[in-house]
Structure 1
């Protein structure tokens, strides 16, 4: 059962990593098959910390040949992302102004997993910071009080990193 859970966690990590890579490559993409370039723009002000959804953005054609940067070109790059800064209507959304939603939040209990060979130890912990999938965060072990570092595998699960 644990091996099945570990495989599911690893599949989640791999899927998230592939999505991040696809987003990065799409941001660098040039013209589409119709020869036009597009950018995603907000239809209203979107404030830091808000989740972007379909009703808040639209895709527009880029007509300025000198326009360049890490702007989002497709809805899949912005859907469900959290804004790090204020997004203004009709201005291209910079990919660097977005982040993945946190899978682990400060103060919410998580499951810690430590693996070494065939040994696997699980414990409860309290994150000392927020973290998205794949990020390294600090977590306090609820039983021992020790602070450890770990990688966020999925919502509520942190893989402890060996020293």
Structure 2
């Protein structure tokens, strides 16, 4: 059966008029989202339309974060996964786990953030002058040293004693000093 161009055009005009009069899909989506603002502003339109339960919530970058950059909450957005979809293992999902951390590799917008792709911010930088302490009972020995590698709190780093030139290994403390032990 062949259709004539005039008949097809008239059918399209009628369908368009009916869609405009009835309000079409945008009005339905708008109505659904306005009803859901009280419940959850972060729910996706797909979940609202299908009345599915909300899935897992994850944080993803909203811009490119390059290696060495500090991750700020402004660079992240919270998204809700479609119900039935689960986040992969080893993915960071909470803001507390990301705020102030540093990217070890490039983090792309819209992608999960693996826990292996972030690290703590360095407390001591490579080449910085630091105080080194040796504490044994009541004895405390302090010296000035230069770090040979960067480190965060709790990291084991190598330092060179400025006076003797000897290389020591010590733990970075929360205040940025290095504590060495007898070896």
1:147 Cα shift?
0.5
Tell whether the 8 Å contact from 2:130 to 2:146 is kept in structure 1 after alignment.
yes
The total of aligned residue pairs comes to 130
Larger Rg, first or second structure (1 or 2): 2
Q: CA RMSD in A?
A: 1.6
Residue from 75, 90, 93 that aligns with 1:73: 93
**SS, match of residue 154 in structure 1:** coil
Deviations 1:81-135 (A, max 9, x none): 0000100101111111000000111111000000111100011000000111001
Tell whether the 8 Å contact from 1:138 to 1:148 is kept in structure 2 after alignment.
yes
- Structure 2 match to 1:3: none
Determine if the alignment matches structure 1 residue 116 to structure 2 residue 136.
Answer: yes
Which residues of 2 match residues 92-103 of structure 1 at below 5 A? 92-103=112-123
Q: Separation in 2 of the partners of 1:47 and 1:159?
A: 32
Q: Which has the higher strand share?
A: 1
Deviations 1:65-88 (A, max 9, x none): 253211111111110100001001
Which residues of 2 match residues 20-35 of structure 1 at below 5 A? none
TM-score by length of 1: 0.75
Determine if the alignment matches structure 1 residue 131 to structure 2 residue 151.
Answer: yes
Of the two structures, which has the highest relative contact order with CA contacts closer than 8 Å and spacing of 6 or more?
A: 1
Q: Which has the higher helix share?
A: 2
TM-score by length of 2: 0.67
Deviations 1:47-77 (A, max 9, x none): 1100011210011112252532111111111
Tell whether the 8 Å contact from 1:39 to 1:93 is kept in structure 2 after alignment.
no
Residue from 56, 64, 74 that aligns with 1:55: 74
- Structure 1 match to 2:48: none
| Runs of 4+ in structure 1 over 6 Å off | none
